[in-house]
Structure 1
Amino acid sequence: MNPILKGAPWLVAHRSMLGIDKPYKLTLNGCDYVLWQNRNGDIFALENACPHMQAPLSNGWICQANNSIMCPFHALEFDGKGRLLKDGEPKGEPVARNLELIIQDDLIWTYGGFEPRLSIPELIPERTERLRFLGVACNKSIQTNFLSCIKINYDFNHQNGVHRDVFKIRENPVQTFDKDGYYARVVQTFFREDNTISEILQNPSLLSVPKEIQNELEYTFPSTALFKAELALGALLQFFILYPETEHQTRTFVLCYGNWQIPLLKVPGLRALIERSLLEATAKVVEQDSRAVESLYPQQKPKIRLPKEEIMFYVESLYNEW
């Protein structure tokens, strides 16, 4: 396939997603890779096909002693540079292609082997200083193209329909929309209707969501959309991440951070319950977005225009003019 946005920086994983000494399969722009992390926190990445008979290395296992990966077919052993090992020692030049990674604290970035056209954004480390990492919500493939997925993250109006049953949003006026190159910022208010007792029992995190939510969104094209909300608990930050797996398949996951202000969350088990509920609610939002974009018919020129759609035209122009 032709690479999508060749030279863009892609956030492909958070360190917590890899585990320790476990192969992790990654697909980026039509190419499969395998990543693994050792107990010292070192991370390695190779093309996933064994250079012998193209077996998927991600189906193999990690040799802790040599920080290497073993092929599942013939137990061939490769180090993080792609060299074949024999008795723990490299033999010759690399035969499996290495994927260059840029590790930024717990964030794993790559340019997919292409010359960089944009710097890796500092949005996540700058906004999460002194915040707790709550976890990764959802990590799934969406069966549609990258542009359709990124547009829904920039679409203010879809909250009213796609997420109606969770948050009961009746109105979401936008106060400001500012853009500066590949960065954009939005200030917005959600006005909600009351949740039923049954809905709250199914999703206890709704107790922390006020009827009027002042929130802020920040975007760094093409991979990251930050949703920041001030809840009764404190600040909640959700980074919605996208990258292209194939021409018609897009990977998404959400990094969640929080800064809780109320003493009640010091009660043993209560904080874990609320945070787990928040992660589950975020995952449901992603599932709803995924179903929505996967159900779309082929795009045609819209015959209707909604208020505040400028940001969708902005991101579409960034994509088309890349």
Structure 2
Amino acid sequence: MNYILPGAPWLVAHRSMLCIDKPYKITLNNCDYVIWQNAKGEIYALENVCPHMQAPLSNGWICKEHNSITCPFHALEFDGKGRLIKDGEVKGEPIAKSLNLIIQDDLIWTYGNFEPRLPIPSLISEKTKGLSFLGIAGDTTIQAEFLQCIKVNYDFNHQNGVHHDTFRIKDNPVESFEKDGYYAKVVQTFLREDNTMQELFQNPSLMTFPKKIKNQLVYNFPSTTLFKAEVPLGEILQFFILYPETENQTRTFVLLYANWRNPIINVPGFGDLIKRSLLQSTAKIVEQDSKAVESLYPQQKPKIRLPKEEIMSYVEGLYHEW
């Protein structure tokens, strides 16, 4: 089996994505897993296959009394370590394989049971101290290989193409590009045209965006891209997350945070309106990126080079040198 970047840390979920005592299925590197959270906030994960007749455990249910997951086929129960539970008692050694998780605050990381090759990045926890968590947006599967998806996140030339119709970006000059191993940083400015009244009505968050937006892009290879924008209301932080489901499928979602500085955000109803609109706008960004990647023809050697495109060569090099 061809594993993608074995030993890399993958952020597979935020705690808010898990309902209490409900199975949550993920796919990572060609293997399905089921994750669940109990009322105490404890989180467990097993391979999503019953060791009896290979039924998907995610189709089953959580037994609150035993803190176990129940197979939907024969109602067999397994605890978070994969041990069979019978008559309320643990029986023998684990027979269902567990997935090792690393929980940091509300972030759920895993190495997919491979030996770690990189530490869990601290980018999210460091950049979000004291900020408001707005929610999750764009949780979807992209029908494309992981390398193509990550290259889009590192491609800061695509903004005025893929996202032009939404944000009316006419240019996005790059001021600086720094790289240090698996970490990189870009400082960039968006120059926007005016939105129509219809566009503003459909997407009220556009009213908070000036015609010139100062941005930072911070990268922790391979899973995390931070997009931080300065707007009149304060700072908006979007963490674009990627992990490989299969060789040809990539999972993505975005964690959205804000550092509001303008008191107008506290006007009753206004803050909720902006929050909903920002989440919708972020989901639209993910949709546009996904469609752009999925529509690409098989890769050939480029006959054109764009300014500051070396960051894509940089991330491609990291991927192939892994």
Range into which the TM-score falls when normalised by the shorter chain = over 0.9
Q: In the alignment, which residue of structure 2 is the partner of 1:151?
A: 151
Aligned pairs for 1:262-277 within 5 A: 262-277=262-277
The question of 1:134 aligning with 2:134 is answered yes
Q: In the alignment, which residue of structure 2 is the partner of 1:194?
A: 194
d(CA) in 2 for partners of 1:279, 1:109: 23
Note the C-alpha offset of 1:281. Answer: 0.1
Q: In the alignment, which residue of structure 1 is the partner of 2:317?
A: 317
| Counterpart secondary structure, 2:7 | coil
| Counterpart secondary structure, 1:126 | helix
Q: Deviations over 1:262-286 (max 9, x none)?
A: 2222122221111010000000000
d(CA) in 2 for partners of 1:74, 1:302: 55
Query: What amino acid does structure 1 have at the position aligned with 2:271?
Result: R
The question of 1:95 aligning with 2:118 is answered no
Q: In the alignment, which residue of structure 1 is the partner of 2:21?
A: 21
The question of 1:115 aligning with 2:95 is answered no
| Counterpart secondary structure, 2:155 | coil
Aligned pairs for 1:159-308 within 5 A: 159-308=159-308
d(CA) in 2 for partners of 1:20, 1:272: 25
d(CA) in 2 for partners of 1:270, 1:59: 40
TM-score by length of 2: 0.99
| Counterpart secondary structure, 1:95 | coil
Instruction: Give every structure 1 segment of 4 or more consecutive aligned residues whose post-TM-superposition deviation is greater than 3 Å.
Output: none
d(CA) in 2 for partners of 1:267, 1:36: 37
Query: What amino acid does structure 2 have at the position aligned with 1:31?
Result: C
d(CA) in 2 for partners of 1:114, 1:265: 45
| Counterpart secondary structure, 1:228 | strand
Q: In the alignment, which residue of structure 1 is the partner of 2:41?
A: 41
d(CA) in 2 for partners of 1:138, 1:38: 25
d(CA) in 2 for partners of 1:265, 1:174: 30
d(CA) in 1 for partners of 2:302, 2:3: 27
Query: What amino acid does structure 2 have at the position aligned with 1:43?
Result: I
Query: What amino acid does structure 2 have at the position aligned with 1:20?
Result: I
Q: Deviations over 1:13-61 (max 9, x none)?
A: 0000011111000100000000000011000000001111111000111
Query: What amino acid does structure 2 have at the position aligned with 1:286?
Result: V
| Counterpart secondary structure, 2:201 | helix
Query: What amino acid does structure 2 have at the position aligned with 1:23?
Result: P
The runs of 5 or more residues in structure 1 that have no matched partner are: none
d(CA) in 2 for partners of 1:133, 1:141: 23
Q: Deviations over 1:210-258 (max 9, x none)?
A: 1000010100000000000011111100000000000000000000000
Aligned pairs for 1:6-85 within 5 A: 6-85=6-85
TM-score by length of 1: 0.99
Query: What amino acid does structure 2 have at the position aligned with 1:108?
Result: I
Q: Number of aligned pairs?
A: 322
**RMSD of aligned Cα (Å):** 0.6
d(CA) in 2 for partners of 1:263, 1:99: 44
Q: In the alignment, which residue of structure 1 is the partner of 2:86?
A: 86
Query: What amino acid does structure 1 have at the position aligned with 2:254?
Result: V
d(CA) in 1 for partners of 2:209, 2:38: 39
| Counterpart secondary structure, 1:98 | coil
Q: Deviations over 1:164-210 (max 9, x none)?
A: 10011111000000000000000000000000000000000000011
Q: Deviations over 1:61-100 (max 9, x none)?
A: 1111111101111111110000010122111111100000
Query: What amino acid does structure 1 have at the position aligned with 2:25?
Result: K
Query: What amino acid does structure 2 have at the position aligned with 1:173?
Result: P
With 236-245 and 262-271 compared, the bigger mean Cα shift is at 262-271
d(CA) in 2 for partners of 1:89, 1:81: 14
d(CA) in 2 for partners of 1:313, 1:56: 40
Q: Deviations over 1:88-130 (max 9, x none)?
A: 2111111100000000000000000100000011000000010
Note the C-alpha offset of 1:261. Answer: 1.5
**Aligned sequence identity (%):** 74
